[in-house]
Amino acid sequence: MRSSQEDKSVQTKNELIKQAPGTDIADFFQTIRQQTLRIVEPLEIEDYVIQTAPFMSPPRWHLGHTSWFFELLLKDYLPGYKIYSEEYLFYFNSYYERFGTRIDRDKRGTRSRPTVKDTLAYRKRIDDGMLELLSRSQSNPSADLLALVRLGLEHEMQHQELLVYDIKHLLRDQYEPTARREPPQGDAVSGMAEVEGGLFWLGYAGDDFAYDNEKSSHLVYVQDFAIDRAPVTNGEYLEFIRDGGYRDFRWWFSEAWQCVRSENWQAPLYWEQHGGEWIIRDFSGVHRAEDKAKEPVTHVSFYEASAFATWAGKRLPTEAEWEKAACLPPLETTRLNFPWGDDSPDLSKANLFENELWGVAPTGSFPDGRSAYGCYQMIGDVWEWTSSDYVPFPGFAPEFDEYNDKWFVGQKVLRGGSYATPQAHIRSTYRNFFHPNERWMISGIRCAKTI
């Protein structure tokens, strides 16, 4: 007779596998690992080792760090496995205290070794070891191992998005992806949707993979509110700039105003002023801001998002408001997995990494993905700032040490994903988080208002 613990292990294994493409976790592993290599394929050898700012990491480091993560599994689960190099453990660790000393984040670009060639060889060695481990485990899989492999793949998808951020900071319009599609035409959309308040179950309550910071699902109360049907556009933000938004302290928190002055902010990141005209530099080239007026504004900090909302006579939504508007149709009590329903994301519903746009789509795009309230692009395109502090939900229990639990201070929550987020990685309950002054990520704005 099987014990309850064994039943739980088998159930956990089945849940982890069904989340992967097909039914084979090894196939999913190879798919995700190859996707990382496709992102870096267009790079020249010199591009791999440059660190253009303390907050970004050289592409070589991402390749090694995501492999380092899996090497720790090999050390514990593959009999006879020996650590490849203590030097690699030092260089490719990120912030995990329990795994020993590590290089400071802002010094990752100060070393030329390990070389790119050696890092790729290390990556292949880890891949070979992981495929051997998964093959050995196929007949009698360990639920603990499968959970860690799944976490490692989610971690790699996080770094795929971070790679896009870092490559953009490194190369901007000089990067040419291996494939690129044209953005769709958008519907005309404007105004705000009114959402009835009440009690609402916030957070993840399913049985597939989700991070521990999305749990546990709990009842919250929200008042009636309105939320923008589309993200704030470059054209709208340009009005804020032209109205002296960066010169008027009234719109800014005191700490934010200090940041504006000390950093000399005048516009979002990647905006430049040429001859009195604002231009935007991105993966598709250099464009007049006015020519991109219908696209969602990107690379704004929480400080900037909040200042714009205040200037516009609105505010940022709480994460509970955002999630209710995205997932709970009017007069319904059963929430949806995504704004459009329970089906997983695809190319017709949201602008995510697999769409290969390498940029935002015009507002009003992907009508098949709009919410029951008529809100467009709540998934994909840009991570949307909320006013909520990144703190644990009631009932939070850490599932992975030093992964999410150590960051519950001084950061703000963003929701929805971006054009660099892989389809398999996003959920409506996903809680991204950054410090309020950061803007190197693909972040944007959707305003709200109390009614």
Residue 339 lies in a domain: yes
Q: Give the count of beta carbons closer than 10 Å to the beta carbon of residue 137.
A: 18
Residue 403 confidence (pLDDT)? 86
* Shared domain check, 257 and 145: no
In a domain, 107, yes or no: yes
Look at residue 101 in the predicted model and tell me its pLDDT.
Answer: 85
**Domain at 30, CATH number:** 1.20.120
Q: Are both 321 and 286 inside the same structural domain? A: no
Does residue 202 share a domain with residue 61?
Answer: no
Question: Are residues 347 and 200 located together in one domain of the fold?
Answer: yes
184 assigned to some structural domain: no
- Residue 339: C-alpha distances to residues 87, 313, 356, 405 (Å): 46, 26, 21, 28
Asked whether the beta carbons of 19 and 8 are under 8 A apart, the reply is: no
Nearest CA-CA partner of 102 in 57, 169, 47:
57
Pair (14, 99) in one structural domain: yes
Asked if 229 and 242 sit in the same domain, the reply is no
Q: Tens-digit pLDDT profile for the chain (451 aa)?
A: 333 333 333 333 334 434 444 458 999 999 999 999 999 999 999 999 999 999 999 999 999 999 999 999 999 999 999 999 999 999 999 877 777 788 899 999 999 999 999 999 999 999 999 999 999 988 888 899 999 999 999 999 999 999 999 999 999 999 999 999 999 988 999 999 999 999 999 999 999 999 999 999 999 999 999 999 999 999 999 999 999 999 999 999 999 999 999 999 999 999 999 999 999 999 999 999 999 999 999 999 999 999 999 999 999 999 999 999 999 999 888 999 999 999 999 999 999 999 999 999 999 999 999 999 999 999 999 999 999 999 999 999 999 887 888 999 999 999 999 999 999 999 999 999 999 999 999 999 999 999 9
Q: Is 262 left (phi over 0), alpha (psi -120 to 50) or beta?
A: alpha
Do 273 and 148 belong together in one domain? no
User: What CATH number is attached to the domain comprising 209?
Assistant: 3.90.1580.10
CB distance 329 to 347 below 8 Å: no
Question: Would 302 be classed as within a structural domain?
Answer: no
0.85 exceeded by pTM = yes
CA atoms within 13 A on the CB side of 362: 15
Domains held by the chain: number: 3
The verdict on 253 and 214 lying in the same domain is no
- 409 in any annotated domain: yes
| Identity of the amino acid at 398 | P
pLDDT at res. 17? 37
Do residue 221 and residue 292 come from a single domain?
no
Please indicate, yes or no, whether residues 356 and 341 belong to a single structural domain of this protein.
yes
Describe the crossing of helices 25-40 and 143-171 by its angle, rounded to 10 degrees: 10
**Burial class of residue 6 in the structure, from the number of CB atoms within 10 Å of its CB (0-12 exposed, 13-18 middle, 19+ buried):** exposed
Give the CA angle between residues 161, 164, 168 to the nearest 5°. 150
Amino acid, res. 312: A
Report the sign of the C-alpha dihedral through residues 130, 136, 141, 143, in that order: negative
Domain with 124, as residue range(s), is 4-174
pLDDT value at residue 97: 73
Would 186 be classed as within a structural domain?
no
Give residue 81's identity as a one-letter amino acid code: Y
* 338, 216: one domain: yes
In a domain, 25, yes or no: yes
| 370 and 343 inside one domain | yes
